[in-house]
Structure 1
Amino acid sequence: MILTVTLNPAVDKTYTTDSLILGQVNRIATAQNIAGGKGVNVAKILRQCEYPAMTCGLLGGYTGLFIEDYMKSIGADCRFTKVAGETRSNINVLAGDGYVTELLEPGPEVSDEELELFVKVYEEAIKECELVVLSGSVARGIRTDIYKRLIKIGNENKKICILDTSGEALRFGIESCPYMIKPNQKELEYLVGHKLTDIEDIADAARELCEEGIAKVVVSMGGKGLLSVSKEGVLWAKAPSVKALNTVGCGDSVVASYAMSILEGEDDFSSLKRAAATAASSAATFQSGEIALGLSKELLAKVQIEKKD
């Protein structure tokens, strides 16, 4: 069982239009409401791949019920904690000219009491799982060191922890030494405090984090591919180009892929190759938190892996 944690889930309202023009009326061609949030997306992909997934986090209001009902419908074991505020909605506008615009609501204010109720649920849920994925932003009212606390609980229970967040939540979270983190280039730059100009710079920055006790650092670099850094070395993967329909959730597909690879005991080479193919197939789908399984298998044979010094 894999447990996913989402502290600020959302209903993703995905719109398509020919183009988005600021300051003018924009006609929407299609609209779709999708259960989202990074940890929710990871659980959705796990269920697509027929992996048992348990998901917990904070939900409130009608949008919260929408997310929970959907997750139950796909067979996820839901252990959400209810909050008084309304779970946020995010707007993703996919324009025909190739631009993707995201409008992200801040989410509800979470009280100390609500957070402690969640932590109790988390402490019980983690006992039933082998691996924990902690993903996404932190709702208002929650201290930015929350992931540090949750990873510490995971480590005390001898669980594998994967962290995928940003900013101060990431900076504090790595203090508890999760097994793996998945920053993008900007998030890695935030951690090390300076600009990273090329793959060699990115690899060096990731090595620094490995030396501090993180077993695996996987850096997503958009069209430049994925970089995996561990004590085994540095690997760079680039999947064949695909027609991208929606890049929202591609990072979540990388995390889901690695969670499965870790539990299956795959080596760094196989894990990275699988993750690159999964991310590319995710970009080729309209819905966030979904992969094209057939395309993923097709791309797997075409992913190029290069060992870096």
Structure 2
Amino acid sequence: MILTVTLNPAVDKTYTTGSLILGQVNRLETTQNIAGGKGVNVAKILRQCGYPVTTCGLLGGYTGLFIEDYMNSIGADCRFTRVAGETRSNINVLAKDGYVTELLEPGPEVSDEELEIFVKGYEEAITRCELIVLSGSIARGIRSDIYKRLIKLANDNQKICILDTSAEALRCGIEAHPYMIKPNQKELEYLVGHKLTDIEDVADAAGKLCEEGIAKVVVSMGSKGLLSVSREGALWAKAPSVKAVNTVGCGDSVVASYAMSMLEGEDDFSSLKRAAATAASSASTFQSGEISLRLSKELLDKVQIEKRK
């Protein structure tokens, strides 16, 4: 069983249009409401691949009910904590000119009492899971050290943790030494405090985090591919060529893929290859948190892995 944690889930309202013009009336061609949030996306992909998933987090209002109903419909074991505020909605506008515009709401204000109810449920849930994925931003009212607290609880129960977040939540979270983190290049730059100009810079920065106690750092670099760094060295997967339709959720597909690889005992080479193929498959689909299993298998042999220093 894999446990996914989403502290600021959302309904993703995905729109398509020819182009998005600021200050003008923009008529949309299609609309779709999708249960989202990084941890929710991870859970959706895991269920699509047939893995048992428990998913928890904070949900409120009608949008929260929409997400929970969808997760129940795909067979996830839902352990969400209800909050008084309304779960946020995010807007993703996919334009035919290739631009993707995201408008992200802040989410509800979470009280200390609501958070403690969640933590109590989380402590119970981790006893029944082998691996824990903590993903995404945190709702208002929650301290930036929340992931640090949750990782410590998991470590005390000898559970493997993957952390995928940003800014101070990421900086605080790595202090508890999760097994793996998955920053993108900008998030890694935030951690190290300076610009990373090439793959060697990225590998060096990730390597320093490994020296500080993180077993694996996987950096997503968009069209440049994926870089996996551990104390054993660095591997770079070049992104296979696909027609990108929607890149929202590609990072979540990487996290889901690594979670599956960890449970199956795959080595670094196989894990990275699988993650790169899964991310490319995700980019080719309209709905975030969804992959084409057929395309993932086809792309697997096309992923090129290169050892870095």
Same fold (TM over 0.5): yes
- Write the deviation string for residues 209-235 of structure 1: whole angstroms up to 9, x where unpaired: 000000000000000000000022100
Contact 1:239 / 1:299 at 8 angstroms: preserved in 2? no
What residue in structure 1 maps to residue 23 of structure 2? 23
* C-alpha distance in structure 1 between counterparts of 2:197 and 2:270, whole Å: 27
Q: Give the conservation status (yes or no) of the 8 Å contact 2:45–2:253.
A: yes
Distance in 2 between residues matched to 1:286 and 1:232, nearest whole Å:
37
Q: Which amino acid aligns with 1:247?
A: T
Identity over aligned pairs, percent: 87
Do the aligned partners of 1:239 and 1:302 also contact (CA within 8 Å) in 2? no
Query: Which of structure 1's runs of 4+ aligned residues deviate more than 6 A?
Result: none
Whole-Å separation in 1 of the counterparts to 2:155 and 2:290: 29
Partner of 1:123: 123
TM-superposition CA deviations, 1:222-268 (whole Å, max 9, x none): 00000000022100001321111100000000000000000100000
1:110 aligns with 2:110: yes
Matches within 5 A, 1:67-86: 67-86=67-86
SS at match of 2:70: helix
- In structure 2, the residue matched to 1:306 is 306
1:293 aligns with 2:283: no
Look up the match of 1:63.
63
Secondary structure in structure 1 of the residue aligned to 2:127:
helix
Task: State the match for 1:54 in structure 2.
Answer: 54
Q: Is the 8 A contact 2:83 2:114 kept in 1?
A: yes
Residue in structure 1 matched with residue 279 of structure 2 by the alignment: 279
Tell me, yes or no, if structure 1 residue 164 matches structure 2 residue 161. Answer: no
Q: Distance in 2 between matches of 1:197 and 1:99?
A: 24
TM superposition shift of 1:289: 0.3
Kindly provide the amino acid, as one letter, of the partner of residue 283 in structure 1: A
Q: Is the 8 A contact 1:3 1:126 kept in 2?
A: yes
Alignment size in residue pairs: 309
Q: Partners in 1 of 2:278 and 2:59 — Cα distance?
A: 28
Deviations 1:195-217 (A, max 9, x none): 10000000000000000000000
1:101, 1:74 → 2: CA distance? 28
For the 8 Å contact 1:182–1:255, the answer to whether it is kept is yes
CA deviation after TM superposition for structure 1 residue 184, in Å: 0.3
- Structure 2: gaps spanning 5 or more residues: none
Deviations 1:84-116 (A, max 9, x none): 000000000000000000000000000000000
TM-score scaled by length of structure 1:
1.00
Deviations 1:146-189 (A, max 9, x none): 00000000000000000000000000000000000000000000
Distance 1:31 1:2 in 2: 31
For residues 136 and 239 of structure 1, the distance between their equivalents in structure 2, rounded to whole angstroms, comes to 23
- Asked if the contact 1:9–1:38 (Cα under 8 Å) also holds between the matched residues in 2, the reply is yes
Contact in 1 for aligned 2:224/2:239 (Cα 8 Å): no
Aligned AA for 1:17? T
Q: Any residues of structure 2 matched to 1:230-269 within 5 Å, and which?
A: 230-269=230-269
Distance 2:266 2:85 in 1: 41
Paired with 2:175 and 2:231, the residues of 1 have a C-alpha distance of 19
Contact conserved, 1:13 with 1:32, CA < 8 A, in 2? yes
Query: Equivalents in 1 of 2:198, 2:211: separation in Å?
Result: 20
The answer for the alignment partner of 2:90 in structure 1 is: 90
In structure 2, what is the equivalent of residue 101 of structure 1? 101
Q: Aligned partners of 1:298 and 1:306: how far apart in 2?
A: 20
Alignment partners' CA distance in 2, 1:160 and 1:240 = 29
Determine the structure 2 residue equivalent to 1:135: 135
| Matched position secondary structure for 2:169 | helix
Structure 2 Cα separation of the partners of residues 274 and 233 of structure 1: 18
Give the whole-Å Cα distance in 2 for the aligned partners of 1:184 and 1:240. Answer: 18
- CA-based RMSD of the aligned residues comes to 0.4
C-alpha contact (below 8 Å) 2:246/2:287 kept by paired residues: yes
Amino acid at match of 1:300: L
CA distance in 1, matches of 2:41, 2:58: 15
Give SS of 1:128's match. coil
Where does the alignment leave 5 or more consecutive residues of structure 1 unmatched? Answer: none
